Chains A and B, each alone.
Chain A
Amino acid sequence: MKRFLVLAMAAVCVVGASWGLLAQTPGVTDTTIKLGSFIVQSGGVAFIGVPVMRGAQAWYSYVNDELGGIHGRKIEFLALDDAFNPANTVAVMKRLVEQENIFALVNPLGTIGMAASWTYILEHQLPVVSPHMNWLTLASPTVPHVFAIQPNNESFGRAAAQYAVLELGAQRVAIAVVEDAMGTELLDFALDELKVQGKQPVIVVKYPGTETSFSAYALALRQARAEAVLLFSYVSDAAKLIVECDLLGFKPKFVGINTITLQLYDLAGEAAEGVVFPGFGTDPQDPTSEAAAAMRAVYARYYPGELMNAYAMIAYVGAQMVTKALMDAGPNLTRQALIDALDAFTGWDADGMIPAVTYRPDDHYGIKTLWMNRLVTVNGVRTAEFITEWDWSEHR
């Protein structure tokens, strides 16, 4: 009887301790894990935010419906619209942490929103996984609870400059850059990298984000006799500039950034032929990729009739990374367990959809290697041809 009582008390203590542990983990119950996010769904940037939200939501829904959640817990994905306004982002973050009591911030979108809420995130030591932004601060210096996935603007800016000089052999490099947070950061790194490579740009053409006419900029590039033009632009602006250059009979080699996709062909037609751009993911519409086909099938299940684009793809992959980390963290889920699971990531590539991701406690960069592609027409089909892998730190 005495032994039974001791055992019973020990069992009560263990259960109590476990319950206490779980109760201390925000956003985690026996049946659910609450994940929060800020993703713009309205206004001028919604064209990015909507597919990002859908890509992430599709995977979380699939995990709940087909895999029964993570260790028996269903995922509650609460993505709030911050309208791409930093003051709103701060409010959204406070709501997610204080009212919704989320476990982690996953798939958030937008650098300025993250910059505005950065201090708050650090103060609350909130885990951040798969942020969709190129902001260097996410990974440098390393923050123990923040895990970047996308390459940052340093990678894109330096890689573009290196590729133009080292691979294309351009002696006269020009830069066309949109005047915004992304463009200025890219420009700074590209200028620095050109300096490292012993070059100066022959011209830097800056244009406002609201620009609609690019003929003057094309003329300036031609007058500078640029051999290669680094395109730090959004795809629609890049298309307009390329078309204007083509109309002038000026055909430099263009090297873009990750904003360039196959869509450039639709917008610029034949003038887009030969444009080089870095990517960090397989085109979700790639007919040769089984992983892309599986992804499209899941996406179509939750968003029938909607075309899965590159924004939805990276959010989907980001969500996959979140669920893998949650799975690796084990049934006794805590924030520290999640961080430990992520720190052990080695060569994870979402079935070949992205370059391999390896995290270590002092390295939370995420994807470092870029896939350099070229727009070409093969047998009458316009496609993005893979050229080579590129890690800027290996070309110094």
Chain B
Amino acid sequence: MKRLIFWAVVIVLLAMAPFVLRSYNLYLLNLAAVKIIAAIGLALLTGYTGQLSIGHAGFLAIGAYGTALLAQHFGLPFWVGIPVAGLISGLAGFILLIPALRLTAIYLAIATLAFGTAVAEALPRWAAVTGGYQGMRVPRASFFGVNVQNDVAMYYLALAMTVLLLLVARNIVRSRVGRAFVAIRDKSMAAQACGVSLAKYKALAFFVSALYAGLAGGLYAHVVGYISPAEFGLAKSIDLFIMIALGGMASLPGPVLGALFLTYLPHWLSGFRGLQSIIYGASLIGVVVFMPFGIWGFVRKWTAPDKVQSLPKPLRAAVAFVRGGGGA
């Protein structure tokens, strides 16, 4: 009950953010939400199921372009366009299932890389539809005739999607499906021997992961209002992978922390002319060296029972809440 109240307070505080934050801060939070959703999807696939993917920007692109094109050509509102584009992306996830059933580790990573590259290359060549290299402007979002293409409305949409998808992910990892994912990651042959169908659960992992990335892409299209193929290249896939590696792969708070870190750090550093890349790189190296299990791993280590006992009582209570938030 106490925890429920705690999270209710957190949600209320987040819901009040538009009353105190400027459009710029809301926009950054919206971008962070996009990355959180995509990173959670990747964590389910890579962190929990052990299927390495470095082509996830392809799904992000399918979601973004799908949402924009559904709005442009079929007049679908954003609240229909985003889920439909997410589903299309999820179905495209099955494409990766074919190599995933035969390949593992680095070989699967190469196959996913090929998928991501193929999508990034196909988009500009389909110029008549996608606007080519110049990109395309995303039609303004409206809700029953009311224009909601603004940072406040997008913030509430992003917040709702993030909370909902976090809860869904939490339920997945705590269910039989989640345990099957972990079993496949830890020892696929043993999992099979225990009756876990590799094909079925890998297919599910790819579908869910691609669905999350597609939904994130759809949200991204409306948050930024403009999409171009250059945004969905290899660098974006690597970024997503870094997010979950930095935050902590096999956890749900990890991708959230990694996404927040990689959203805000470049903006904090944007005024450091010429030093941005150096500070950015050094920060990443620092995190990897001093937090080998990611930021969430670091937090968990320092909130271990023996360490927590020495904390003041209010902090101990706070740690108890946070630690209960998830983790494999």
**A: which residues have CB within 8 A of B?**
41-43, 46, 50, 53, 78-83, 85-88, 90-92, 94-95, 98-99, 112, 115-116, 118-119, 179-181, 183-185, 208
Contact = CB atoms under 8 A, between A and B. Distances in A.
B230 A78 contact: no
A181 B134 contact: yes
A115 B24 contact: no
A70 to B, nearest CB: 23
Interface centre among A53, A86, A99 (most CB of B within 10 A): A86
A41 B27 contact: no
B24 A94 contact: yes
B312 interface: no
A53 B275 CA distance: 14
B137 to A, nearest CB: 7
5 contacts: A78-B271, A81-B271, A87-B223, A90-B224, A116-B228
B142 interface: no
B225 A116 contact: yes
Contacts of A86: 135, 224, 226, 228, 230-231
A94 B134 contact: no
A98 B270 contact: no
A252 B27 CA distance: 51
Interface in B202-254: 220, 223-226, 228, 230-231
Given A53-B273, A98-B22, A184-B127, A88 B267 contact: yes
B23 interface: yes
Contacts of A180: 133, 230
B135 A181 contact: yes
Contacts of A183: 133
Interface string B102-146: 000000000000000000010010010000111101000000000
A145 to B, nearest CB: 20
Interface residues of B, number: 33
Interface of B is mostly: helix
Contacts of B23: 94, 98
B276 interface: yes
A116 B273 contact: no
Given A80-B271, A184-B132, A41 B31 contact: no
Contacts of A208: 121
Given A80-B270, A81-B270, A95-B24, A181 B133 contact: yes
- Most chain B beta carbons < 10 A, residue from A42, A79, A98, A181: A42
B24 A91 contact: yes
Contacts of B153: none
Contact of B134 (A80, A99, A184): A184
Nearest to B271: A80
Contacts of B230: 86, 112, 180-181
B277 interface: yes
Contacts of B177: none
Contacts of B220: 87
Given A41-B274, A112-B230, A115-B226, A90 B134 contact: no
B266 interface: yes
Contact of B277 (A43, A53, A99, A119): A43
Q: Which 6 A-B pairs have the closest CB atoms?
A: A94-B24, A181-B133, A42-B277, A116-B226, A80-B270, A42-B276
A243 to B, nearest CB: 26
A92 B31 CA distance: 13
Given A87-B231, A91-B27, 7 more contacts: A42-B276, A86-B230, A90-B226, A99-B22, A115-B226, A179-B133, A180-B230
